[in-house]
Amino acid sequence: MLVDVLDHLVRGIVSHPDDVQIRNKPLRRGLLLEVRVHPDDLGRVIGRSGRTATALRTVTKALSDGKPVRVDVVDVDRGR
């Protein structure tokens, strides 16, 4: 469910929704969600001073039923 939530939130705010990918990596405690978007949309998803990335984290965590969740926006250009 959280993957779908984040996927929807991100798709709605980018210019290339078809290039949005959310990867779900279980961590020892909780969950890591990796967000990949079209390079042109990277600034949009991060926002000024990271404000949009923070908003994505805040809403996703609010729906995680208290489980620890990390949301990382991955800069594809810089490898991984």
Partner 1 sequence: MSDTEAREPAGAETMPQTEAGDQPTTDTAEDRSARVAETLNRLEEEGEVAADYLEELLDIADLDGDIDIDVENGRASVSVIAEGQAERDLRRLVGQRGEVLDALQDLTRLAVQSRTGDRSRLMLDIAGHRAHQKLRLREVGARACQEVKDSGESVRMDPMSAFERKVIHDVVAEKGLVSESEGEDPQRRVVIFPAAG
Q: In what order do the strands lie in the sheet with 21-26?
A: 21-26, 31-36, 69-73
Rg (the chain; Cα; Å): 12
Check residue 32 for interaction with partner 1 (CB under 8 A): no
Looking at beta carbons only, is 15 or 30 nearer to partner 1? 15
Angle, vertex CA 42, rays to CA 41 and CA 45, nearest 5: 85
Nearest approach in angstroms of CB 36 to partner 1 is 18
Of the candidates 22, 52, 69, 71, which one interacts with partner 1 according to CB under 8 A?
52
CA torsion 79-55-37-46 (nearest 10°) is -60
Looking at beta carbons only, is 59 or 78 nearer to partner 1? 59
Q: Which residues bind partner 1 (CB under 8 A)?
A: 1, 4-5, 8-9, 12-15, 44, 47-48, 51-52, 54-56, 58-59, 62-63
